A and B are shown apart, each in its own frame.
Chain A
């Protein structure tokens, strides 16, 4: 119960102080719009919503979460208020959970806008809602945990931002969003299968138009595996690097 009070209040504080701030909320709305506009222009006249929809959702989640979490954590570490959290009598696992859930929710929120627009303005359909939900949640978790992974590496806020970009931009090309993975150069393809977003995008494809290339019975467990791996690697790294 005591741990839960701590957990809940850390989450609420982050929500109030970071995620529910107007600039961040508007980011969650404008960013997906910008992506859709870009896709629209790129496709010229024939705008096949079903083919771009998964990509926009994935990008909105990825961009919403990774830098948010890594920047806020690096910021709190610089201001040294993060030490308070480490000094609190709660387990490191609980602490990490409380820090990432805000960002995960923020990622999910970011995905809602493009889904809403696609369905109501472009008449896109969703074949499988539960799988879409699972895909969105897992993508949010895995992107958030990537942000945490970056936060453990970065010392300064600007480093956290730079690393997030290094992480995200190659991912746009690797994950099969613009060019299907099968059409990427052969030597790049293994890299694609090493990034979690590839599996996330494929799950979304399945849920929207069943245009997936991998089985969701593979993609969903792989995504889950990435989550577990990133979570425990980050905890291990926090113990190693933050408690010197």
Chain B
């Protein structure tokens, strides 16, 4: 496995306040790595340390095996950065903004003109190419900001809350683009407070809260670790069923599982082991039930997040939506 970024015991203090406290993680080449946490968790601070916009109070930052702590200039050609706010030049057109950003990385005029045109096309902004940035909608601004970070074809793309506060259509477009970029080989480091975004996009996710990393794993791994039982729900037609003692009867037949009657039309089956549902469904059918559906209930990343961090889901939604 190829670690493209490694953070070792990183800390950041602002005066006596510890914004990030002793976190360690690595990002694999070619993956989408997500930092998921609520407001004030330390996501932006972590990104800022990794890109050299904030000094580290302690710890090491390693890019491609080389220690660049305190001297990220060395790695700056490798990285593209999408800040948490759209930060291009208001008075310049979309096209000029992209070309200017290309020049910052030393691209010759012809190359940057070509890249800018390509990117405007990819982000479906060609029609707005000659409009000033300030006249763009929020979603368009976000897209152009991402395009600007890609102008020099960086190996690693940092994105701080790429989809916060923009319209649904743009969100979808941006998520698809992130996937496509990644498929084409760009390593992506993103932060988000949308659990569903992390679940959909990321190969691996770190839960961060109050400056500390609580858990890091693949989405499946996190979900698996949070699961305390296998659950199967069997939905049946409620009429003509003798629901009396149903739980007890099932318990006698299948002693290794726990069966609960729920809502009068569902049997919920729990077990620490893998559940073999065929005999159970068969037995229910023998009772004269009409089975409508049997489904394996998978815990979601949200369940894992709540369980591991103790953070209420509502906490993840507030504040940021306004922008």
Partner-B contacts on A (CB < 8 A): 1-3, 5-6, 8-10, 13, 17, 79-81, 83-91, 243-244
Contact between B53 and A87 (Cβ–Cβ < 8 Å)? Answer: yes
Residue among A17, A84, A85, A90 having the largest count of chain B Cβ atoms under 10 Å: A84
Contact between A17 and B92 (Cβ–Cβ < 8 Å)? Answer: yes
**B:219-255 near A, CB below 8 Å:** none
Count A-B pairs with CB separation below 8 Å. 68
Contact between B92 and A1 (Cβ–Cβ < 8 Å)? Answer: no
Contact between A6 and B90 (Cβ–Cβ < 8 Å)? Answer: no
Question: Residues of B contacting A83 with CB < 8 Å?
Answer: 53, 81, 83, 87
Write the nearest CB–CB distance from A21 to chain B, whole angstroms.
9
| Additional 19 contacts, C-beta under 8 A, given A13-B92, A91-B73 | A2-B106, A5-B107, A6-B103, A6-B104, A79-B89, A79-B90, A80-B83, A80-B85, A80-B87, A81-B88, A83-B83, A84-B148, A86-B53, A87-B51, A87-B53, A87-B76, A90-B104, A243-B54, A243-B55
Contact between A81 and B106 (Cβ–Cβ < 8 Å)? Answer: no
Question: Residues of A contacting B73 with CB < 8 Å?
Answer: 89, 91
Tell me if B288 counts as interface (CB < 8 A to partner A).
no
Tell me if B3 counts as interface (CB < 8 A to partner A).
no
Kindly supply a per-residue 1/0 record for chain B positions 48-60, scoring 1 wherever the CB is within 8 Å of any chain A CB and 0 otherwise.
0001111100000
A8, B100: Cα distance in complex, Å: 10
Across the interface, A243 reaches (CB within 8 A) one of B52, B77, B103, namely B52
Tell me if B105 counts as interface (CB < 8 A to partner A).
yes
Contact between B106 and A3 (Cβ–Cβ < 8 Å)? Answer: yes
A10, B105: Cα distance in complex, Å: 11
Contact between B104 and A81 (Cβ–Cβ < 8 Å)? Answer: no
Write the nearest CB–CB distance from A133 to chain B, whole angstroms.
31
Question: Residues of B contacting A91 with CB < 8 Å?
Answer: 73
Write the nearest CB–CB distance from A176 to chain B, whole angstroms.
40
Tell me if B91 counts as interface (CB < 8 A to partner A).
yes
Question: Residues of B contacting A79 with CB < 8 Å?
Answer: 87, 89-90
Write the nearest CB–CB distance from A22 to chain B, whole angstroms.
14
Contact between A2 and B105 (Cβ–Cβ < 8 Å)? Answer: yes
Write the nearest CB–CB distance from B73 to chain A, whole angstroms.
7
Write the nearest CB–CB distance from B20 to chain A, whole angstroms.
13
Contact between B53 and A5 (Cβ–Cβ < 8 Å)? Answer: no
Contact between A87 and B92 (Cβ–Cβ < 8 Å)? Answer: no
Known: A89-B73, A244-B55. A84 touches B92 (CB 8 A): no
**B:11-64 near A, CB below 8 Å:** 14, 51-55
Closest A residue by C-beta to B86:
A80
Known: A89-B73, A244-B54, A244-B55. A6 touches B106 (CB 8 A): yes
A220, B107: Cα distance in complex, Å: 39
Kindly supply a per-residue 1/0 record for chain B positions 67-103, scoring 1 wherever the CB is within 8 Å of any chain A CB and 0 otherwise.
0000001001101010101011111100000001101
Across the interface, A85 reaches (CB within 8 A) one of B14, B55, B104, namely B104
A80, B100: Cα distance in complex, Å: 15
- Between-chain CB contacts (< 8 Å), 18 pairs: A6-B104, A6-B105, A6-B106, A9-B100, A9-B104, A10-B103, A79-B87, A80-B87, A81-B87, A83-B83, A84-B87, A87-B52, A87-B76, A87-B81, A89-B73, A243-B53, A244-B14, A244-B54
Contact between A5 and B103 (Cβ–Cβ < 8 Å)? Answer: yes
A81, B105: Cα distance in complex, Å: 15
Tell me if B108 counts as interface (CB < 8 A to partner A).
yes
Question: Residues of A contacting B83 with CB < 8 Å?
Answer: 80, 83
Question: Residues of A contacting B87 with CB < 8 Å?
Answer: 79-81, 83-84
Contact between A81 and B89 (Cβ–Cβ < 8 Å)? Answer: yes
Question: Residues of A contacting B79 with CB < 8 Å?
Answer: 87
A1, B103: Cα distance in complex, Å: 11
Closest A residue by C-beta to B91:
A17
Question: Residues of B contacting A6 with CB < 8 Å?
Answer: 103-106
Across the interface, A84 reaches (CB within 8 A) one of B55, B91, B104, namely B104
